[in-house]
Amino acid sequence: MSIKAYRIKINGIVQGVGFRPHVYRLAMEFGLKGWVLNSPAGVSLEVEGEETPLGDFLDRLQKEPPPMALIRSYDIQEISPAGFRDFTIKPSDDAGEIKVMISPDIAVCGECRREVSDPKDRRFGYPFTNCTNCGPRFTIIKDLPYDRAMTAMASFSMCRECQAEFNDPSQRRFHAQPNACPVCGPHIRLVDGQGQVAREGACELLKAGKIIAVKGLGGFHLAVNALDAEAVRRLRRGKRRDAKPFAVMASDVDTARKYCFADAEEENLLKSPQAPIVVLERNDGPSLSMEAVHPGINTLGVMLPYTPLHYLLFDQELKMLVMTSANISDEPLIIDNDEAVKQLGEVADYFLLHDRDIYNPCDDSVLQLTKLKTVHFFRRARGFVPGSIRLGTEAEPVLALGGDMKNTFCITREGEAFLSQHWGDLNHYHNYVYFQQGIELFKKALKVEPQVLAHDLHPEYQASRWAKQQKDVKRIEIQHHHAHLAAVMAENQLQGQVLGLICDGSGWGSDGTLWGGEILRGDYRQFTRLGHLKNVPLPGGDISARRPYRMALVYLFSALGEAGLAWADQGLLHLSREEKELLVNKIGPHSKEPLTSSCGRLFDAVGAVLGICGVNNYEGQAAAELEAVADQNEKGSYGFQVYRDDHHLLMDVMPMWPELIADMGKDRSTASMAQKFHLTLVKMYTEALGRIREETGLNRVVLSGGVFHNQILLTNLIKGLTERDFLVYHHQKIPPGDGGISLGQAAIASEVVTKCV
C-alpha cells in the first residue's frame, strides 16, 4: 500500500476559530499521522497516510472547515512521507510576522446551546457558555496576541475542569480563550436603579412591562416586551427617540415568522453565526404595535438571541422583545456597568449586569435581502468586524478616516481592507474617543503603522481635523462622492474607468457647493463630474436637512414661483408664516445660500409635500417613509428634463412639480404618487446615463450613496439599467452610505501612493 504525504498551508481567518482541533479530529477519524500548528501566515500542517483516507481527509478539510473560519486559500503540496508515529498539535511557530486578524464575535453555537439547556450539564443555564466555534472575540480583546491574558477574561482563572477542556485537543474547547463555567467564569446580576437585587427574574419583569438594560456582547441594550405597546412607548419617551424604528429580538424563527415574511435565505441570515438584525417585511400577523415599535415603516428589524444570556430573557409566554441599543438619542453605545446605571436611570427599571468587561463597543449589524436577493448592509458591525474585504491590488498600508456621520475608518494591509465598526456621529465626544482608540487597536492587531492618511475634503469633518493633527504622515484629501464611487469599485474589485451614479445626502463638492445627486466618471486615481441634479439653494445648510418642509418650499418656489408659495401656505403644515418669509428672502433671485444637488434633499422635499414627513427625526426618515408608503404596482411617472449646460449634463425635476401638485388636487393616493416619484428618478437617471454612455463609451455603472438604502430606487435602477445593457455594480459587503466611504478613500489613497513611488 502506498503512503503519501502533503504539506498544507491555510490562509484567512483560521485562528481563534477552532481550526487546529478540527484538523486534529479529522486526522484521527481517518487514522492519519503528522502535525498541525498556528503559524504567522495562518495554519500549517503535514499529514500522511494511505491514499484513500488521505484523499477523503483533504476533501473534508476543504468542504467542511470550522463554521467561523474564513478561508482565503489552501496551498497543498505533495512531499515525501516522514514516517510520523502520531498526529499532534505543535506549539505555535512564532517565527516571522504574525499576519492573522482577530475573529469577529460569533453567535452561540448549537452544541453550546444544548449544554446550556440540559439540566444535567455543568453549564446548565450558564449565560457565558462558549467554545472555539462560538462566543465573544473582538469585543473582549484589549491587546494582541489573542490570549486570555489580553482579554476581558484575564481576571477569571479557569477551574480544573475548564482547564482540562482547554488543554485537550480532542475537545471543542481546546484553546478556547474565553472558556468559562459557573464555577470559574463571569456572573450576572439583576438589580434595580438603586442597586438592590431584583426579587423576580428578568423574564417575569419584562412580562410585567418593565424596561431592562441588558449588558450584551458589544454594549448595552434596552429590552422591553414588544407586544406591550404602553411599555414600548415609555421606552421611546425615555430614549428621546420620536420616530426611529426599534429592532426586535424574536426567541426563534417561528416567532419571527408570525410577524414578518422570511424566506429560506432570510432565515439563513437570521440564523447565521453573525446573527445580524435582518430587516424583514411585516405581514398581517398578530398585533404588534406598529405605531410604537416601527412608526411609518412597513419593515421590521429582527434578530435572534445570539448569546446564552439572551435566552434567559424569554419563556413560553414571552417571545418577542424590543431590543434597542442603550443610548439616549445619538449618544455613544454604553458598555460600562456604572455608566449604564448612571445614564439609563431614567429609562430603565432594572439592569441585567455582569462582570465581564466590554473592551470594544460594537453595535448590532443591520442588513436586508434585496428583491434581487443580494445582501444590503445598513450597518456593518458585530459579527462582521474586524473581518476584511479583499481588494484587487496591494499597496503600502493606508489609514482612511471616513465621514463624520456613521463614521467607520479603514486600514489596509497587503491587499485587504479592514473596516472598523460604526462609531456614529464623531461630533459626540465619546464617539470621537472610541474612534481614536479603535484606530490604535486596529494598528496593533494588524501590526501596521500607516504613513498615509486619507480623509474627506470637508474642512469641518472631525475625522479630517484629526488627520491634520497627525505628524510625519502623508495626507490625501478625497472628494466625498469620489470615495463613494471608489468604494463600490473596490468591493467589486473593478479596475479601469467607470461611470458612478451617486445618490447621497450631501458631501463637500470640489466647486464649494454641496453635491449629492452626481454622475461621475472616474477610477481610483481621479474623477470628473459629468452630470448632476440641478442645483437648488439649501437655506441655512444643515437645518434644512433636518426640516424637509424647508426643502419643499425651495422646490415649490423654484418650480412654480408665486403659485408654489401659495400652495405651501395650505400644504406645508410645519411652515410658519415667519419662517416662510425668511426663507423666501433667502432663496430669491440673489440668494447667497449654499447650493446643493443633493438627491436626499429632493426626497425630503417630496416627502414633505406629500404630507408624509415634514421633519426628519432621524437621518433619511423622509426617504425611508416615502419608500414605505409607495405602491409598487403603480407604473406611472412624472416629467423631468435632461439637458446640457456649459459644463455638465443637468437632471432637472422641475417639470415634475406641477404634475405632482395636480395629482394631489385630484386626490390621487399618496402611495401612487410616492411610487411615481421613485420611477421618475429611475427614468431620469437611466436617460442621463444613456446619454453619457454615448459620449464616453463607458458601459459600467457603479451605484453608491446613502439614498441607495432605498430599495425601490436601487432595485428598479439596477433592473432598468441592466435592461439597457449596462453592467451595474452595487454594494453588497458594506453600506452604500457614509459607513462605506472609508473603503473608497483607502482604495484611492492606495492607488495614489503606488503611482507616486
Cβ 18 to Zn ion, closest distance in Å?
9
**Are 681 and 708 a contacting pair, CB within 8 Å?**
no
Report which of 196, 378, 187 is spatially closest to residue 269, judged by C-alpha positions: 378
**Pick from Fe ion, Zn ion, none: which does 426 bind, CB < 5 to 8 A by kind?**
none
Cβ 370 to Fe ion, closest distance in Å?
20
Cβ 753 to Fe ion, closest distance in Å?
24
> Which lies closer to Zn ion via its Cβ, residue 110 or residue 415?
110
Cβ 109 to Zn ion, closest distance in Å?
3
Cβ 321 to Zn ion, closest distance in Å?
23
Cβ 300 to Fe ion, closest distance in Å?
26
Question: Which strands form 416-419's sheet, in the order they lie side by side?
Answer: 388-390, 416-419, 410-413, 398-400, 452-456, 474-478
> Which lies closer to Fe ion via its Cβ, residue 438 or residue 735?
735
Cβ 738 to Fe ion, closest distance in Å?
4
Cβ 386 to Fe ion, closest distance in Å?
23
Q: Is 209 exposed, middle or buried (0-12, 13-18, 19+ CB in 10 A)?
A: middle
Q: What is the DSSP string of 650-715?
A: EEE-TTHHHHHHHHHHTT--HHHHHHHHHHHHHHHHHHHHHHHHHHH---EEEEESGGGG-HHHHH
> Which lies closer to Fe ion via its Cβ, residue 228 or residue 738?
738
> Which lies closer to Fe ion via its Cβ, residue 115 or residue 738?
738
Cβ 748 to Fe ion, closest distance in Å?
15
**Pick from Fe ion, Zn ion, none: which does 181 bind, CB < 5 to 8 A by kind?**
Zn ion
> Which lies closer to Zn ion via its Cβ, residue 174 or residue 378?
174
DSSP 339: H
**Pick from Zn ion, Fe ion, none: which does 504 bind, CB < 5 to 8 A by kind?**
Fe ion
Enumerate helices (H) and strands (E) in the chain, giving the number of each.
24, 30
> Which lies closer to Zn ion via its Cβ, residue 131 or residue 232?
131
Give CA–CA dist 135/141, Å, rounded.
Answer: 12
Cis amide bond preceding 119, omega within 30 = no
> Which lies closer to Fe ion via its Cβ, residue 515 or residue 549?
515
Interface residue list for Zn ion (CB under 5 A):
109, 112, 131, 133-134, 159, 162, 181, 183-184
> Which lies closer to Zn ion via its Cβ, residue 3 or residue 183?
183
Query: What SS3 state is found at 559?
Result: helix
Cβ 679 to Fe ion, closest distance in Å?
24
Cβ 21 to Zn ion, closest distance in Å?
12
- Residue 417 pairs in a beta bridge with 389, 412
**Pick from Zn ion, Fe ion, none: which does 738 bind, CB < 5 to 8 A by kind?**
Fe ion
> Which lies closer to Zn ion via its Cβ, residue 159 or residue 375?
159
**Pick from Fe ion, Zn ion, none: which does 183 bind, CB < 5 to 8 A by kind?**
Zn ion
> Which lies closer to Fe ion via its Cβ, residue 228 or residue 504?
504
**Pick from Zn ion, Fe ion, none: which does 217 bind, CB < 5 to 8 A by kind?**
none
> Which lies closer to Fe ion via its Cβ, residue 165 or residue 738?
738
Give CA–CA dist 636/667, Å, rounded.
Answer: 16
**Pick from Zn ion, Fe ion, none: which does 552 bind, CB < 5 to 8 A by kind?**
none
Cβ 22 to Zn ion, closest distance in Å?
13
Cβ 731 to Fe ion, closest distance in Å?
12
Cis amide bond preceding 332, omega within 30 = no
- The four Cα atoms 404, 456, 601, 282 give a dihedral, to 10 degrees, of -50
**Pick from Fe ion, Zn ion, none: which does 131 bind, CB < 5 to 8 A by kind?**
Zn ion
Give CA–CA dist 703/481, Å, rounded.
Answer: 11
Pairing of strands 727-729, 700-704: parallel
Report which of 172, 752, 742 is spatially closest to residue 491, judged by C-alpha positions: 742
Q: Long-range contacts: 530-533, Cβ < 8 Å, 24+?
A: 530/499, 530/648, 530/649, 530/692, 530/696, 531/648, 531/649, 531/650, 531/651, 531/688, 531/692, 532/597, 532/648, 532/649, 532/650, 532/651, 533/597, 533/598, 533/599, 533/602, 533/650, 533/651, 533/652, 533/653
> Which lies closer to Fe ion via its Cβ, residue 343 or residue 598?
598
Q: What is the DSSP string of 453-485?
A: EEEES-TT-HHHHHHHH-SS-EEEEE-HHHHHH
- Residue 453 pairs in a beta bridge with 399, 475
Q: Which residues contact 329 (CB under 8 A, 6 or more apart)?
A: 239, 240, 241
- Residue 412 pairs in a beta bridge with 417
**Pick from Fe ion, Zn ion, none: which does 256 bind, CB < 5 to 8 A by kind?**
none
Report which of 442, 444, 475 is spatially closest to residue 459, judged by C-alpha positions: 475
**Are 602 and 623 a contacting pair, CB within 8 Å?**
no
> Closest CB to Fe ion belongs to which residue?
504
Cβ 148 to Zn ion, closest distance in Å?
12
Q: What cell was used for 653?
A: 425635476
> Which lies closer to Zn ion via its Cβ, residue 154 or residue 661?
154
Residue with cell 473582538: 138
Sign of CA dihedral 83, 88, 92, 98: positive
> Which lies closer to Zn ion via its Cβ, residue 176 or residue 445?
176
**Pick from Fe ion, Zn ion, none: which does 112 bind, CB < 5 to 8 A by kind?**
Zn ion
First to last CA, the chain: 57
Task: Name the residue type at position 181.
Answer: C
Cβ 183 to Zn ion, closest distance in Å?
5
Give CA–CA dist 136/145, Å, rounded.
Answer: 15
**Pick from Zn ion, Fe ion, none: which does 412 bind, CB < 5 to 8 A by kind?**
none
Cβ 507 to Fe ion, closest distance in Å?
5
Cβ 473 to Zn ion, closest distance in Å?
42
Residue with cell 481567518: 13
> Which lies closer to Fe ion via its Cβ, residue 274 or residue 479?
479
Residue with cell 439609563: 344
> Which lies closer to Fe ion via its Cβ, residue 198 or residue 623?
623
Q: Which residues contact 354 (CB under 8 A, 6 or more apart)?
A: 127, 128, 186, 187, 188, 189, 215, 309
> Which lies closer to Fe ion via its Cβ, residue 363 or residue 504?
504
Cα 508 to chain centroid distance, Å, stands at: 23
Interface residue list for Fe ion (CB under 5 A):
504, 738
**Pick from Zn ion, Fe ion, none: which does 76 bind, CB < 5 to 8 A by kind?**
none
